[in-house]
Amino acid sequence: MSVFVRDSLSGGMVEVGRDGKVGLYVCGPTVYDHIHIGNARAPLFWDVVVRYLRSRDYDVTFVQNITDIEDKIIAKANAEGASWQEVVDRYTDSFHGRLEMLGIGLPDVEPRATQHIPEMISLIEELVEKGHAYAPGNGDVYYSVESFPGYGSLSHQNPREMRETEKGQTDDKRSPLDFALWKASKPGEPEWESPWGRGRPGWHIECSAMVEKHLPEGADIHGGGTDIRFPHHENELAQSAAAHPEHTFVRAWAHHGMVTFGGTDKMAKSVGNVLDVQRAVKLHGRNAVRMWLLQSHYSQPIEYSAEILEEKRRSYERLLRLYRQISDPDTSSELSDELAAGLRGRFDEAMRDDFNTPEVVATLFEAANRAAREISDRPESAGEFGSLAGAIEEVMTVFGFDLARELAVEVGGVRVRYTEEPGEEVLGLAANRELARRAKDWATADRLREELAEAGWAVEDTPDGPILSRR
């Protein structure tokens, strides 16, 4: 079975994976600062896509680059009095650490721009030779937008109406729309040898070179944000199509919507309205962040607010409680089998139709709510949902929630279970409350429950000990 992706270039659905293989390229971070939850949307979403495709036996090659040379990196290094390599290493480590906080795996290939200077120079030479680029003699090389008739097709713009994308670099350009492929070195900047003199590559040429090297048959899917559809992806397409018109560069372009703050402004470091991933996980928990991002279609913008994240956390906890009720079943009833088959079928249908994660999440809750109503009517039926528990676990594991993993710790002779790390103080409150309950000291137990609630935690009493969850 194939997967269909809505292509930003054609606007239509494009079939990928027909031969059982999928080459995926996603534009990764420019490593000059910690990533915020807006930056995390793409890696989290594509992590889920890769998990799904591999669960269906596709041979996936996932490439996500690191831009490790760019004006922002140089500016950060100058501001800190550090080397650009120190800035790159620090924030690459930070990027990896924050992916781990969200349970996001690393790509199969994570190429860095500076590791591909020879490939970029070779590609630029081809563009110059074919008349699509020119060197004015000052050490710079520019792409000639006028030389490529298809320019503007990806962003659906008319070149005559486009804005200039590289202001301050117009003196030697034939047209304001032309963009830099190679930049002559400036004092104190990193530089490499080239046929045009010492310098460094422009931003756009990086991904063209890396796609061609690591996905030589072309990318089945090229992902990135709507904010870089123009000019970055437009320029990538122009470069690669002009240099190698006989070769397929990308079969389907998939652009994810921006995270907005307050419903209007894009979350961005330049605006200052960002929420660092580390802070988001501490405030809401990684499962809430995942639920929030996956309950909207990747192509649409999504709003952040603390209230929205808390609602998603409560939704996840409800689903988790139902799963716990049915995850150690005696049998599978006819209703269980019906719900499990419906969930698995809709899961495949939705994911194969442009990776429709919100449809999957909606189906999950529909199945869970139907089971919960049955258990409310017949409490003994909690042991009859074996097949549904298996289907929920399969879907949620692909979505990165890892339901099968439950953490527990022994505190003062009390086993306390939890899915999000609560910290020593909260664990102590939960353990002391359980000891108070055993001693039938209900006043103390009630007081400790209130203290837990004030700290943002709910406690569920079970015969095997308390279970903590974020409120």
Binding site residues for Zn(2+), as ranges? 27, 207, 232, 236
* 108 φ/ψ angles, rounded to the nearest 5 degrees: -65, -40
- Decide if 11 contacts 19 (C-beta within 8 A): no
* One-letter-per-residue 3-state SS of the chain: CCEEEECCCCCCEEEECCCCEEEEEECCCECCCCCEHHHHHHHHHHHHHHHHHHHCCCEEEEEECEECCCHHHHHHHHHHCCCHHHHHHHHHHHHHHHHHHCCCCCCCECCEHHHHHHHHHHHHHHHHHCCCEECCCCCCEEECHHHCCCCCCCCCCCHHHCCCCCCCCCCCCCCCCCEEEEEECCCCCCCECCCCCCEEECHHHHHHHHHHHHCCCCEEEEEEEHHHHHHHHHHHHHHHHHHCCCCCCEEEEEEECCEEECCCEECCCCCCCCCEHHHHHHHHCHHHHHHHHHCCCCCCCEEECHHHHHHHHHHHHHHHHHHHHHCCCCCECHHHHHHHHHHHHHHHHHHHECCCHHHHHHHHHHHHHHHHHHHHHCHHHHHHEHHHHHHHHHHHHHCCCCCCCCEEEEECCEEEEECCCCCHHHHHHHHHHHHHHHCCCHHHHHHHHHHHHHCCEEEECCCCCCEEEEC
Q: Cite the annotated binding site by residue number.
A: 27, 207, 232, 236, 269
Q: Cite the annotated binding site for ATP by residue number.
A: 269
End-to-end CA distance of the chain: 41
Quick one: which of 1, 23, 5 has its CA closest to 15? 5
